[in-house]
Amino acid sequence: MERKKPKTLNLGIVAHADAGKTTLTEQILFQSGAIRTAGSVDNGTASTDAMEIERRRGISVRTACASVLWKDVRLNLIDAPGHADFLSEVERSLSVLDAAVLVISAVEGVQPQTRMLLDAFRRAELPCFLFLNKLDRAGSHWESVLSQVEQETGIPCLSFCMAKAEGTETAAACSIDPSDPAWLERAVLACGDDRLLEELLSNEERAPDSLWDSLRKKIGEGKLFPAFCGASKYGRGVPELLDALCGLLREAPPLGEELCARVYKVERDPTLGKAAYVRLFSGTLRNRQTVTVLQNEKTAWREEAPAEKISRVRRVEGRRLEDAEAVEANEIAVVYGLSSVRAGDLLGKELSGLRDYRLAEPLMLCRVEPEQPEELPRLTEALYQLEEEDPALKCEWNREKREVWLRLTGKIQAEVLEALLQERWGLSARFGEPSVIYRETPVTAGEGFEAYTMPKPCWAVVRFLIEPLPRGFGFEYVCKVSPNRLPYRYQAHVETAVPRALEQGLSGWQVTDLRVTLIDGESHNVHTHPLDFFVATPMGIMDGLRNTGTRLLEPMLKAEFTAPEEYLGKTISLLVAHRARFDTPVTGEGRFRLEAVLPAAEAMDLPVEFAACTAGTGVYGSRFSHYEDCPEGVGQSRERIGPDPLDRSRFILAARSALSQ
């Protein structure tokens, strides 16, 4: 008799740093029998912290994967980093989940990254299970933290366990009695179903028949957060959490018949080469199968996604990888042989129903140089490999000045990358002082024109209208040219080339908050080269920006400061000195919490300054908020990478040389 395939759930373990996320993952592996002994983050023995830098620092910097069986349910676990500098890893992990387990410290409560994750789950309607950790620590108050989550999200939280001896080393969690009238009433009210409430009122001795179906539906829609408490250090509360995950979550149906898989992690295997971790949403992946790689950011002038052959497929079992002939929808697999693949890419076809998250916004630009100048080619190649693993780095090579630049989210990320270069490639590199990544936007409306008709053979004429848009709008492209005037194939070239042309404006920064309209265009049936409009478009766009003028925009952070009330005055003085705007502080239990918006350029050393002015008792967290106009005299230009389209002759020469190659 053929064995029935177990229900499969893909779960992400996420948290603010130091909430106990990796410790919880270790206990799940241990209690499910995947490992013999639970490791420790503090001792550097956690099995999901495989990199030397993770064991040494006691933090997770890369996503880790594991798979366990719990009561005949397959749980694929994705342990994402908790530190804010590695949010790009978190957002890719979230995009492949069926549900998230959000670990919150019952002592520290809801912290800045906790709020960001809760907001992301709410907007995406992702099922989320709350695990209130550190029940054994003095100062634990899990029920009040749960109320805080409800207040901040507007989503009801329903506790499925009770705490005993909270705040002591003997603290424990036990499951609720589902027949308890008080719990039944809370559960029915959380469902928001009047029919269920009528059933309960008519017969208070038993739960309504459809209560559990209603709970599963609300949880699956992300409109109800099941809550659990425990102490992951000792494994308390973990079985109750696992039972609920298996019982309350439904397996996701395939999105379609065709292959659709998302790459959420890329790493290098010393023997097999590049390994791509994928979650299948539909279809099947087999050994030696040819698949289409849909890249998030296509390389210049590439109009067709590459097709490549998979050389090997492996399945995650516990913490090991085992060879598999094929994997199917809802499974996690590791595939080899795809040379062009990067983290975030899709395999097969993009189908509706995929979730996307935007949490990471690199705000720092940093030059990287080798200790030994002759190592520059090796360093550049290593950085490009790291970019395949984390595309948010956006490695940039300045050929004229022989410099390489990275985009970073924080100084700790720079320290980790420096250690990785030494650990994996034996390269000693210096990371320069980072600068903030500014943006540009048009000052007024204006036109840009380019007639690229010499030297023959070439013929591409474009005229654009460039208009400023409100802050935060982004970019919009419109074409008002008839195909009789400019054939569709050349219109497509222009549409592809415009966003690339806007990557560097008059001051060297990406141009945003604008509408670009193609109002006229012309080609020649003899002289037009297939790629002429990729040459003409940047020159026309830069001509337009020269006519409109641009102003600098600076990135703003939303920050949170918590410390004892006695340091409130010093904190306010510090924020005023850093051009911050802040709300009225919230005080209670001898501490204050203050939210502020401030320029990223002013926040480079703010964590250290805040720690100093609060004698090390303050807690600081921040995340990207938005871009806004730079005050007069603030901000800086950036030297352009590559030939300037405003230097028309040099730009055409450089472009034609590239085309001839």
523 pLDDT higher than 50: yes
Angle between helices 142-153 and 112-124 (to 10 degrees): 50
For the segment 207-223, the average pLDDT, to the nearest whole number, is 87
- Bridge partners (DSSP) of residue 332 are 279
Asked whether residue 218 carries a pLDDT value surpassing 80, the answer given is yes
Indicate the pLDDT class of residue 220, thresholds 50, 70 and 90: very high
Is residue 207 over pLDDT 90? Answer: no
Instruction: Kindly state the average pLDDT of the residues 494-504.
Output: 96
The mean per-residue pLDDT over the stretch 20-29 comes to: 91
* Model confidence band, residue 77 (pLDDT cutoffs 50, 70, 90): very high
Q: How confident is residue 299, by pLDDT bands cut at 50, 70 and 90?
A: very low
The full DSSP string for 583-649 is -PPEEETTEEEEEEEEEGGG-SSHHHHHHHHTTT--EEEEEEEEEEEPPTT-----PPSS--TTSHH
Q: What is the largest CA-CA distance in the chain?
A: 89
For residue range 247-296, list pLDDT tens digits in order: 999 999 999 999 999 999 999 888 888 999 999 999 999 999 999 998 76
- Candidates 483, 480, 501, 487; CA nearest to 459 is 487
What are 537-586's pLDDT values in tens digits? 999 999 999 999 999 999 999 999 999 999 999 999 999 999 999 989 99
Q: Please, which pLDDT band fits residue 620 given cuts at 50, 70 and 90?
A: confident
If you search the block for the tokens 């090390």, which residue do you land on?
616
Q: In this predicted model, what pLDDT tens digit does every residue of 346-399 receive, in sequence order?
A: 999 999 888 887 777 889 999 999 999 999 999 999 999 999 999 989 998 888
- Give Cβ neighbours of residue 648 (< 8 Å, ≥ 6 apart): 539
% helix, strand, coil for the chain, step of 5: 30, 30, 40
Residue 103 pLDDT exceeds 80? yes
Task: Provide DSSP, 449-513.
Answer: EEEE--SSS--EEEEEEEEE--TT--EEEEE---TTTS-HHHHHHHHHHHHHHTTS-TTSS-B-S
Domain 553-629 has CATH 3.30.70.240: yes
Q: 20, 104 in Cβ contact below 8 A?
A: no
Q: What average pLDDT does this structure show over 72-101? A: 88
Contact between residue 278 and residue 341 where contact means Cβ atoms under 8 Å apart: no
Q: Which CATH superfamily does the domain covering 7-176+224-248 fall into?
A: P-loop containing nucleotide triphosphate hydrolases (3.40.50.300)
According to CATH, the topology of domain 364-437 is: Alpha-Beta Plaits (3.30.70)
Residue 307 pLDDT > 90? no
Amino acid at 322: E
Query: Looking at residue 257, what DSSP letter applies?
Result: S
Question: Is CATH 2.90.10.10 what the domain over 260-348 is classified as, yes or no?
Answer: no
One-character DSSP codes across 9-78: EEEEEEESTTSSHHHHHHHHHHHTTSSSS---TTTT--TT--SHHHHHHTS--S-EEEEEEETTEEEEEE
Rounded to 5 degrees, what angle do the CA atoms 524, 528, 534 make? 125
Which letter, b or e, does each residue of 239-269 get, where b requires 16 or more Cβ atoms within 10 Å of its Cβ?
bbbbbbbbebbeebebbbeebbbbbbbbbee
Considering only CA atoms, which of 654, 457, 638, 442 is closest in space to residue 539?
Answer: 654
Q: Which residue has the tokens 């603030």?
A: 634
Confidence band, pLDDT 50/70/90 cuts, at residue 304: low
Find the radius of gyration of the CA atoms of the chain.
27
**Would you state the pLDDT for residue 300?**
37
**pLDDT of res. 627:** 95
**Mean per-residue pLDDT, 35-61:** 65
Q: Is CATH 3.30.230.10 correct for 440-548+651-660?
A: yes
Q: Which residues, at least 6 apart from 314, have a Cβ–Cβ distance to it below 8 Å?
A: 321, 322, 323, 324, 333, 334, 335, 336
Segment 119-123 shows an average pLDDT of 88
The percentage of the chain sitting over the pLDDT mark of 70, rounded to a whole number, equals: 93
The burial of 18, by beta-carbon neighbours within 10 Å (0-12 exposed, 13-18 middle, 19 or more buried), is given as middle
Contact 237, 229 (CB under 8 A): yes
Distances (CA, A) of 437 to 394, 431, 440: 12, 16, 10
Q: Is the fold of 7-176+224-248 the same as that of 440-548+651-660?
A: no
Average pLDDT, the chain: 89
Residue 393 DSSP code: G
Query: Could you count the other beta carbons within 10 Å of the beta carbon of residue 299?
Result: 8
Give the separation between CA 50 and CA 473, rounded to whole angstroms: 41
Q: Are 600 and 526 in contact (CB under 8 A)?
A: no
- Whole-number Å distance between alpha carbons of 358 and 349: 21
Interval 153-157 mean pLDDT: 93
Residue 320: its pLDDT value, please? 85
User: Which of 352-361, 499-508, 640-649 has the highest mean predicted lDDT (pLDDT)?
Assistant: 499-508
* CA quadruple 259, 264, 267, 271: dihedral sign: negative
pLDDT of the residue at 507 = 95
Residue 185, pLDDT score = 86
- β 429-431/7-15 pair status: unpaired
Q: Tally DSSP H helices, then E strands, for the chain.
A: 16, 34
Tokens for 402, please give them.
């022989």
Average pLDDT over residues 24-32: 92
pLDDT at 516 over 50: yes
Domain map (residue ranges) of the chain: 7-176+224-248, 260-348, 364-437, 440-548+651-660, 553-629
Q: Please name the residue that has the structure tokens 């028949």.
A: 209
What is the 3 state secondary structure string of 261-322? EEEEEEEEECCCEEEEEEEEEECEEECCCEEEEECCCCCCCCCCCCEEECCEEEEEEECEEE
pLDDT category at 597 given cuts 50, 70, 90 is: very high
* Residue found under tokens 């009210």: 189
| Per-residue model confidence (pLDDT) at position 553 | 97
Report how far residue 387's alpha carbon sits from residue 390's, in angstroms, rounded to the nearest whole number. 5
Q: Which of 141, 81, 83, 151 is nearest to 112 (CA)?
A: 83
Where are the extended beta strands (E) located within 320-382?
320-323, 326-328, 332-336, 346-348, 364-370
Assigned token pair, 339: 């040379």
Residues facing residue 308 across a β-bridge = 291
SS3 label, residue 331: coil
